[in-house]
Structure 1
Amino acid sequence: MPATPAPIRIDVSAPYRVDGQPARYQSVWLLARIWHAHRTGEGGVTAAVVRSAFPTAANLRMLASRAFADFARWQVAVGWGADRQRDPAAANPAHRSRGPFWITAASARRLRFVADGRTLGPAALAGHLAFATAPQAAPAGQPDGVGYVMRDMAFWRELTQAMRGAQDGHAGMHGSAVAESFRAAGRSAGDGFQQALSLLKESLAWRRCGRLDQSRAALRRVDRLVQAAEAGAATPAFCAMAHIVRAWERYTRGDSDGARAGLEGLHSDPELRLVVRYNPRVRFEVLNLEALLHKADAMRAGHACTAQAAQLALDTFAGALQAAYEADSVDAVQHAAANIGLCLWLFWQHGLVDAARVLSASAVQRQAMRWLGLSEWICDRFGVGGGTAWNAIFLLRIARGSCGPDTPPSDRPARANDSMAAFRRQRPLSVADAVDALRPFHAPFAPAKGFVRWSAVAAFALEDHDAGHIRLGPLQLANLLLESAWYLTHEQGATAMACTAVERLAAQLPALRPAERAFFTAELRALPPELRDAAAEASRRRRKAA
């Protein structure tokens, strides 16, 4: 018969000792807190509890690493994570600092906590080490409201700060920094709901900055929580959002069929279908993505029903706008408004809507700008939508939208009407007329933001990017450089600034997807020969340097 393991004596009076040997206070405290949670039926000790006990600790990971090294030396089996049936020795130490921390029953029985020669039970130990006392646990199956609201509030603070950073879009809280801030909030999560919420937001943030691998990793963790129903009553909503995030990821990497399949799976599930119907924020996300898929169909060459797809896109964007207002989400409203403005002009210009041309080009152009004006006005008044230049890009594109074909013929040499003089004779909508068309949403379009001439609007946004105030992705930057080059050339001719813009654009092309590169290559062909030559020379220099 194997010998019974010897008890472990832990002296919680200074100087702290374990079986007579000096010990770190943090390690002793954490082991005592875990034992206390085990004995009182509290279960595990969350990372938030540990962080609140050591608020000045710069790195919880380091604290946990040192403590677990001590536990191993003391031969105490302590585990972490939601699965308490798993052998602690088999768990991934990279996730250890996330908690929750727990102890095996066998190890708990061996521990003897003493102070001043007196053995301490759970209550005496809690008093001696000043544990934050938790209210009496509610009976199984009943909510424990007092216990919930008495928790440490680190998670809500971290999450709120992350949400504000994502909303502001200011330098240092953009792109991957936003995702990291949601990940930091998740480390303070005290239950499945908080974990799922922070992970979903983290996954969305990774997707928006193009880090699809990180987005998928966060989403897999959401799936595990959803499958275990650890998010409580919110589990169906989180499951629906996970479907949407996964569909968005497929759409982002150009897999439209995969994105459609993801949304169809959402609609076909009896429970999740109800979430879409009755949760307006979820409905907005579904409709917004569906509309973008219809838009892609409408603009795809060779698609059998482009006009029908264009009409469906506008109908669905209108539904997304309604859902956004129903959800009281001004950020969602500004996204829908911007999409409506761009698509209205784009579809009309390509003859996909109003084929009989009942509406004048000027009327459609101005109405499209008003939708963009609503989006930008919301961003300006409510402080949302930061860190992006899409509204400026769309305005610039629509203002010159009636100046000629998007893509000039590629099967002929340059003609006389491709010359600089002919190019500069084109008449985009003036800034003054555009600002007038933007009423009643014209307030953000002030001279201080470059709304004196169109090239200054583009320059203003580029300066923000170059100075690090905003961080534009490759596609946004390429679009902005194209508009800058077009308007500089139109206003001033083949100046050094115009040539610099096309050279930067040419250097940006390798960072784009093939379909995107094809669009910009065609747009460069529409510029006068001097600008085309500058772009070609920049491409040659880049290839030679490579």
Structure 2
Amino acid sequence: MRGVSKPALLSIELTSPQSVNGRRAAFQSLWLLVRMQHAQEAGTGVVRLVDLRGEVSDASTLRMVVSRAFRDFKAWNIEVGWGEDTLREPRFLNAERRSQGPFWLPAVEARRVRVLVEGRAATAAEVASFLGLRARKSQAAAGSPPPDAVHLQDAAFWKQLVASQQAARQGRLMAPVAGMNTGDASAGAQPASALESIRLAGTLAATDFQRALVTLNEAMLWRRLGDNEQARRRLQALKKQRLAHHVAGNDYLGAMECIVAAWCAYTARDLPLAQSLLGGMADDAARGLVLRHHPDVRFEWCNLWALVCRSRALGLSADDKPASAALAEESLRRFGEALAAAFESHSFDAAQHVAANMGMAAWLFDRVGLSDLPALAQHGNADTTRRAVQWIAFSEWLCGHTDGQGRSAWNAIYLMRIARGHCRPEKQPTLAQFRAQKPLDPAAVSKLAGPLADAFDATNWPARWVQVAQARLADHQAGRRRYPGLQHCSLLFEHAWYAAHAGELKAAEQSLALLREALPQLVPSDRAYFTESWNDTLPAELVLEAKPPRRPAARKKIAS
């Protein structure tokens, strides 16, 4: 019986004209193969796109060089892998992602490669000289710092990054805010908006990690501004940065890239995609490790997973109560884990977000008949409205006790919804029927807050809901705050509702006119919410004067 023949050796001649097994070879393909063999022997493992730039190609022709190289590798009968997982078999890899790298040579293939100079085995120094590695080392020795070293200019970068994050916490996302210093940062002032600050940080970034961090923060800002298209563009740029360079903190950046992409899907109300992205991240070996050990990442993941479960639970509540209840339980459990992660990382900003989300989730679940959930029951009696108000009051208290923290519009919006949700209105009521409703007033809500009532100070919480909404809209219009689209639309609708309830129909009409102008920027499901509420819950006399948007066409049900 014949034994299995060993693969033939591959003889690579480095001197010009370069050849493989005695036949002329394309320099770029041969260089890449030798570079991978060197990485295998040196223990670094992979060759990234950045290693090719300037040596065998410029950025504009890299894809062509890689494509030609893999055709040559096939002709030379040698298997080359690509991607971060160097343990996979190259024959099972997705060729569509090949041009992104990084590239590597399996150990069994590396042992076949013989590197020669004029027919004899090349020395390590000769291989390094051929690859240009000696020149790189001499540059480093002459004073060039390694890519992720700390530079003297780093302090300016980090200051600007912090300025951007602080501006985002204060609600100064994109446009300058009235009364804020808009001077030149070099003169000691800070740009007024988070987006301006992060762009300035980009000009100060000195390492691949800092540049990638800027891109990540830009994506997060665009997501918060509701511009999913811009956010996704920045995520694509971040992916290219991570794949082309061996960026420090790559696993963290990859995890956050996944979370922001999931946020974009959630904002677009693509719940299956959002959950798929989050589930894939948890199952990934490297990102799953970051998720377990990095409290900030764990907060983001748990909070968003809980929001997705909340939406799914509410969507199923009418048709599948057991499935809805299971999702609601998971939502509340994940909110609890998110809150724990927020305090683990000492982030009151994160904690206030999840506290408000938890409170609103409890109230919404009660509204759809899920008040008997074990997580909501206490001593056999689920006083869900009180519990919801106290969580939102806790969120507001955290906002007030965090230096430089802007007040959350969501807390006011949630409490105004809870207050009018106490009513059981007729559909399309007359003005008299509408005004006969008795929503909870701010004093009653403050009483429900119990020991957390001090969160509702008189400055930020006037005695009437219409004033609460008006104060926040005035801040937005004057430029003291900039609320993203969904928050702004929610404030406009709440103001219209409470103004109409107070008999101030002209003020209500003005808010509805502004709401009509703002609705097109929202995703269809959010537009539908306001359209339904406008048509069905506002008084007929107001609806007659302020024509609501047309309802979306009802979808035909397909027989199962």
Q: With structure 2 as the length reference, what TM-score do the two structures score?
A: 0.65
AA partner of residue 372 (structure 2): D
AA partner of residue 455 (structure 1): V
Residue 314 of structure 2 is matched in structure 1 by: 299
Alpha-carbon distance in 1 for matches of 2:52, 2:469: 51
Contact 1:370 1:437 in 2 (8 A): yes
1:84 equivalent to 2:54? Answer yes
**Cα drift, residue 393 of structure 1:** 0.5
Contact 1:334 1:378 in 2 (8 A): yes
**TM-superposition CA deviations, 1:448-490 (whole Å, max 9, x none):** 2242111111111111112121222332222112211221222
Residue 486 of structure 1 is matched in structure 2 by: 497
Alpha-carbon distance in 1 for matches of 2:314, 2:151: 51
SS at match of 2:55: coil
Residue 526 of structure 2 is matched in structure 1 by: 516
Alpha-carbon distance in 1 for matches of 2:382, 2:432: 24
Aligned counterpart for 1:153 among listed residues 152, 155, 159? 155
SS at match of 2:371: coil
Aligned counterpart for 1:190 among listed residues 174, 190, 206? 206
AA partner of residue 84 (structure 1): G
RMSD: 3.5
Q: Which runs of 5+ in 2 are unaligned?
A: 1-49, 63-128, 130-137, 178-190, 551-560
Alpha-carbon distance in 1 for matches of 2:389, 2:211: 41
Alpha-carbon distance in 1 for matches of 2:227, 2:407: 17
**Cα drift, residue 387 of structure 1:** 7.1
Contact 1:203 1:245 in 2 (8 A): yes
Aligned counterpart for 1:168 among listed residues 157, 167, 170? 170
Residue 465 of structure 1 is matched in structure 2 by: 476
**TM-superposition CA deviations, 1:340-368 (whole Å, max 9, x none):** 11111111121123279977999322221
Alpha-carbon distance in 2 for matches of 1:526, 1:449: 27
**Cα drift, residue 293 of structure 1:** 0.8
Residue 215 of structure 1 is matched in structure 2 by: 231
The within-5 A match list for 1:372-521 is: 372-383=392-403, 386=406, 388-404=408-424, 418-490=429-501, 492-493=502-503, 495-521=505-531
Alpha-carbon distance in 2 for matches of 1:203, 1:315: 28
Residue 109 of structure 2 is matched in structure 1 by: none
Alpha-carbon distance in 2 for matches of 1:504, 1:198: 34
Alpha-carbon distance in 1 for matches of 2:531, 2:415: 21
Residue 312 of structure 1 is matched in structure 2 by: 330
- CA distance 1:419–1:203, change in 2 (3 Å): same
Residue 322 of structure 1 is matched in structure 2 by: 340
Alpha-carbon distance in 2 for matches of 1:134, 1:534: 77
Aligned counterpart for 1:363 among listed residues 380, 383, 386? 383
**TM-superposition CA deviations, 1:212-254 (whole Å, max 9, x none):** 222222222322332245322x221111111111111222222
**Cα drift, residue 369 of structure 1:** 1.3
**Cα drift, residue 323 of structure 1:** 1.0
Alpha-carbon distance in 2 for matches of 1:400, 1:362: 20
Contact 2:394 2:455 in 1 (8 A): no
Alpha-carbon distance in 2 for matches of 1:482, 1:155: 41
* Number of aligned positions between the proteins: 407
Identity of aligned residues (%): 36
Aligned counterpart for 2:291 among listed residues 276, 301, 311? 276
**TM-superposition CA deviations, 1:160-216 (whole Å, max 9, x none):** 221222222248458994234213212221112211222111111111112222222
**TM-superposition CA deviations, 1:483-520 (whole Å, max 9, x none):** 11221222x22532223233333443333332222222
Aligned counterpart for 2:197 among listed residues 152, 167, 181? 181
**Cα drift, residue 444 of structure 1:** 4.3
AA partner of residue 334 (structure 1): Q
SS at match of 2:452: coil
Q: Which runs of 5+ in 1 are unaligned?
A: 1-79, 93-104, 106-121, 124-132, 541-546
Residue 331 of structure 1 is matched in structure 2 by: 349
Contact 2:216 2:234 in 1 (8 A): yes
Residue 273 of structure 2 is matched in structure 1 by: 258
SS at match of 2:389: helix
* Stretch moving more, 500-509 or 514-523: 500-509
Alpha-carbon distance in 2 for matches of 1:201, 1:179: 9
Alpha-carbon distance in 1 for matches of 2:464, 2:450: 18
Contact 1:134 1:150 in 2 (8 A): no
**Cα drift, residue 298 of structure 1:** 1.2
Contact 2:371 2:384 in 1 (8 A): no
